[in-house]
Amino acid sequence: MSTPLFPATLAGSLPKPVWLAETHKLWPQWKAQGEDLAAAQRDATLLWLKLQEDAGLDVVTDGEQSRQHFVHGFLEFVEGIDFEHKVEMGIRGDRYKAMVPQVVGPLRLKGRVHQSEARLLRAHTDRKIKFTLPGPMTIADTVADRFYGDKVKMAMAFAALLNQEAHALQADGVNVIQFDEPAFNVFLDEVPVWGIAALETAAAGLTCTTAVHICYGYGIQANIDWKKTLGEQWRQYEKIFPAIARSSIGQVSLECYHSHVPPQLMALLAGKDVLVGVIDVASDVVETPEQVADTIGTALQYVPREHLYACTNCGMAPMDREVARRKLEALAQGAAIARQRWG
Ligand code: ZN
């Protein structure tokens, strides 16, 4: 398929059906075990693939139906991590507490992480496939270190593992590999010092499209409360976008609609594809296609049209399933309106 103007895509995750896992939760419990769980995850992946295609998305994902959480879903496949003895830790600058596993030895992949999901998607769609992986800085902020004694060293070790899986995903036929780095919006001073280097290590040598997603988090209460402390204008991106613009990463997925990010900050990403968040994931109110098109119009003042994608602000994992489906429809319909207006 040729790529249209303003391709429609999503940040990554989608709600899990009620028969797969607990709903409306960020760390949901699965409803089955073993081979039954694996089969249910495959069914949910195919269901969401069909719904994304029906909605009209141009770049689709597995909806992260096989991961309990976007970070821990990767860590489960890493040797050197103790999942039996989780500890409570303040994450994202102590914004909220989470039960996290501990790094207790040298890190190594146990095997492939997302092979079955990637091959399942590739076998069932001709559309472009995006796969999300947690970024090294965000992983380092979502695990307790009892071994490396140095956050940067540990992040670099994770980056090497991410690179290994990313190359395998590329070989599976994945078109876009996106690293999710919400921690970039928290550790602003560390991003230019080592965050970008770790990200580039994770993406080293890839010939497929590479992306980084930087957001203000899922629509959970801790994040909604945090956003209230950020003031009238959210200028975090201003500190990190220049360094990202100089990096080798091809695409940047960011928050826009309903956020307090000054849209002119998108101009700091010259040369990159910008995946503009046109869908608010912290509200159950479904955007109209016209609202989506208007947000694309705002972004067009700062992003060249050939670099502009329509996307969600963040993942939709904790949302209501039907709301998420209708938001994807609005997203694709809004991109179609934008094509008519500015095509
Ligand atoms: Zn996000």
pLDDT for 250 equals 98
Report the C-alpha gap between 40 and 139 in whole angstroms: 27
**57 Cα: distance to centroid of ligand 1 (angstroms):** 18
Q: Quick one: DSSP state of residue 294?
A: H
**182 Cα: distance to centroid of ligand 1 (angstroms):** 6
pLDDT for 26 equals 85
Instruction: Kindly state the tokens that stand for 330.
Output: 């609005």
**183 Cα: distance to centroid of ligand 1 (angstroms):** 10
pLDDT for 95 equals 85
Report the C-alpha gap between 340 and 343 in whole angstroms: 5
pLDDT for 221 equals 84
What is the bridge-based pairing of β-strands 78-91 and 96-109? antiparallel
pLDDT for 92 equals 87
**17 Cα: distance to centroid of ligand 1 (angstroms):** 20
**237 Cα: distance to centroid of ligand 1 (angstroms):** 14
**255 Cα: distance to centroid of ligand 1 (angstroms):** 8
Whether 177 contacts 203, CB under 8 Å: yes
How distant, in Å, are the alpha carbons of 59, 63, 160 from that of 322? 20, 14, 38
Report the C-alpha gap between 300 and 252 in whole angstroms: 15
**214 Cα: distance to centroid of ligand 1 (angstroms):** 6
Per-residue pLDDT of the chain (343 residues; tens, 9 = 90+): 568 999 999 999 999 999 999 999 888 999 999 999 999 999 999 999 999 999 999 999 999 999 998 898 999 999 999 999 999 999 988 888 889 999 999 999 999 999 999 999 999 999 999 999 999 999 999 999 999 999 999 999 999 999 999 999 999 999 999 999 999 999 999 999 999 999 999 999 999 999 999 998 887 888 888 888 888 899 989 999 999 999 999 999 999 999 899 999 999 999 999 999 999 999 999 999 999 999 999 999 999 999 999 999 999 999 999 999 999 999 999 999 999 999 8
Residue 148 identity (one-letter amino acid) = Y
**254 Cα: distance to centroid of ligand 1 (angstroms):** 8
**79 Cα: distance to centroid of ligand 1 (angstroms):** 26
**313 Cα: distance to centroid of ligand 1 (angstroms):** 7
Instruction: Kindly state the tokens that stand for 287.
Output: 């955007």
**218 Cα: distance to centroid of ligand 1 (angstroms):** 6
**48 Cα: distance to centroid of ligand 1 (angstroms):** 19
Whether 329 contacts 56, CB under 8 Å: yes
**332 Cα: distance to centroid of ligand 1 (angstroms):** 19
**314 Cα: distance to centroid of ligand 1 (angstroms):** 4
**61 Cα: distance to centroid of ligand 1 (angstroms):** 14
pLDDT for 249 equals 98
pLDDT for 146 equals 97
**34 Cα: distance to centroid of ligand 1 (angstroms):** 29
Report the C-alpha gap between 303 and 320 in whole angstroms: 31
Q: Where are the beta strands (DSSP E) in 135-242?
A: 144-145, 176-180, 209-214
Residue 250 sits at the vertex; the CA angle it makes with 110 and 337, to the nearest 5 degrees, is 115
**13 Cα: distance to centroid of ligand 1 (angstroms):** 9
pLDDT for 232 equals 87
**312 Cα: distance to centroid of ligand 1 (angstroms):** 9
Whether 66 contacts 45, CB under 8 Å: yes
Non-local CB neighbours of 5 within 8 Å, separated by 6+ positions = 305, 306, 338, 339, 342, 343
